[in-house]
């Protein structure tokens, strides 16, 4: 099991956006920016569905995903790979609703996408780029 460290959590907390990569059952890639998200635990990341369509279709057909976060100022970032699940009730979904409503009261969180992380890679520029770190 990969562990999301405190340093990784810090970057995720201050990122200006998450990238979510999915693929169809046949492997056709798809990547989208996600404005709302956070680390839920040492091995789970929450992303909020406000306008996802193709990504949700892909997750239903192929739950393997990658999530990328970065800090431009510190030139640090990580790619988290794992299995996604879609939740429309429960704590993660309620967190999603609160996150969206606190910034954009006119929008609704439609679902919580929870990624169970199984590997973590360094995406910072330099010789360690692409290295498995968790």
Q: State pLDDT tens for residues 51-68.
A: 999 999 999 999 999 999
Does this model's pTM top 0.85? My answer is yes
Q: CB–CB of 131/79 below 8 Å?
A: no
What pLDDT, on a 0 to 100 scale, did the predictor assign at position 131? 92
What pLDDT, on a 0 to 100 scale, did the predictor assign at position 62? 97
Q: What is the CATH number of the domain that holds 111?
A: 2.30.110.10
pLDDT digits 0-9 by tens, 8-49: 999 999 998 999 999 999 999 999 999 999 999 999 999 999
Averaged pLDDT of the chain = 95
Q: Please check whether residue 118 lies inside any domain of the structure.
A: yes
Q: Please check whether residue 100 lies inside any domain of the structure.
A: yes
What's the total number of domains in the chain? Answer: 1
pLDDT digits 0-9 by tens, 65-123: 999 999 988 889 999 999 999 999 999 999 999 999 999 999 999 999 999 999 999 99
For residues 134 and 132, give the distance between their C-alpha atoms in angstroms, rounded to a whole number: 6
């Amino acid at each position: 099991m990969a562990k999301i460290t405190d340093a990784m959590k810090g970057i995720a907390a201050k990122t200006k956006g998450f990238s979510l990569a999915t693929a169809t059952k046949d492997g056709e890639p798809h990547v989208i920016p996600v404005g709302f998200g956070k680390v839920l635990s040492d091995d789970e990341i929450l992303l909020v569905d406000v306008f996802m369509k193709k990504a949700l279709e892909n997750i239903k057909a192929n739950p393997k995903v990658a999530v990328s976060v970065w800090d431009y100022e510190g030139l640090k970032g990580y790619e988290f790979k794992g299995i996604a699940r879609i939740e429309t009730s429960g704590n993660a979904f309620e967190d999603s609703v609160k996150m969206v409503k606190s910034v954009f009261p006119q929008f609704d969180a439609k679902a919580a996408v929870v990624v169970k992380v199984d590997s973590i890679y360094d995406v910072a520029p330099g010789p360690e780029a692409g290295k498995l770190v968790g």
